[in-house]
Amino acid sequence: MSKYLSFLLMLFLAVCVSSCGTKYARPDRCCCDVSEVTKVVEPIKEETIPEPEPVALESEPEPEPEPVREIKQAIQEAVKEEKKEFTLDLEKLMKQSLFEFNSTKIAEDNYAGLDVVADFLKENPNISVKVEGHTDSVGSKSYNQDLSERRANSVADYLIGKGVDINQVSTEGFGFSKPVASNKTAAGRAKNRRTELKFKIQDLEQEEQD
């Protein structure tokens, strides 16, 4: 800005020299009004380069939790092998208890795994699932029988609540009558406290005949 004005003043003075004479070729003695220069010269704004807008980087999708991957893989393998029936042990795949301690309430961090099962059933209406509940031997027979039934019902209710057809889902509780390990150790009892999903694929032709 200052360089530009200086250039104009010098040009203006040069004009004054030719028009007013060399003795007046000074801003304080020039016959021309130097102040007029600033009136006709509009201030020049310094050119500013706009800052580039930040580019939104596409964030990579978060990896699926391991239990979700395990359940998806188990289902995909069963379908690939064209099995008519297959069983999933939810606690084994999720590597943790499906329910809160001494409760029929499903732990929230297990919802994602059950959502995979629900989506699979909704996409395949010709597949039914039987939810089977099992317990360890701690407590009375009647208590564990009731607990296993209520836990199986909780899983069924969750799946139906996610949009699975009620006719695709059934339940059964076995208490501690079908252990898969010894109830004499903590590790064995943990294995016996399980929820199994028994899937059965019905041929579409047979389903239409029924």
30 inside domain: yes
Considering the domain architecture, whether residues 74 and 174 belong to the same structural domain is answered as yes
46 inside domain: no
Kindly indicate the confidence band of residue 25, based on its pLDDT and cuts at 50, 70 and 90.
very low
Q: How many domains does the chain have?
A: 2
Considering the domain architecture, whether residues 24 and 87 belong to the same structural domain is answered as no
Q: How far is CA 29 from CA 18, 91, 93, 155, 165, in A?
A: 14, 101, 98, 101, 101
49 inside domain: no
Considering the domain architecture, whether residues 119 and 203 belong to the same structural domain is answered as yes
User: Do residues 187 and 144 touch, judged by C-beta distance below 8 A?
Assistant: no
> Can you give the CATH number for the domain in which 95 is found?
3.30.1330.60
The predicted pLDDT at position 102 comes to 83
Joined tokens for residue 165: 């057809």
Of residues 95, 89, 117, 87, the one with CA closest to residue 200: 87
Strands of the sheet with 127-134, listed across from one edge: 85-89, 194-201, 127-134, 169-173
Residue 207 identity (one-letter amino acid): E
Considering the domain architecture, whether residues 76 and 128 belong to the same structural domain is answered as yes
Joined tokens for residue 101: 């301690």
The predicted pLDDT at position 100 comes to 86
Considering the domain architecture, whether residues 151 and 101 belong to the same structural domain is answered as yes
Q: What is the pLDDT of residues 146-192, one digit of tens each?
A: 999 999 999 999 999 999 999 999 999 999 999 999 999 999 999 99
The predicted pLDDT at position 51 comes to 75
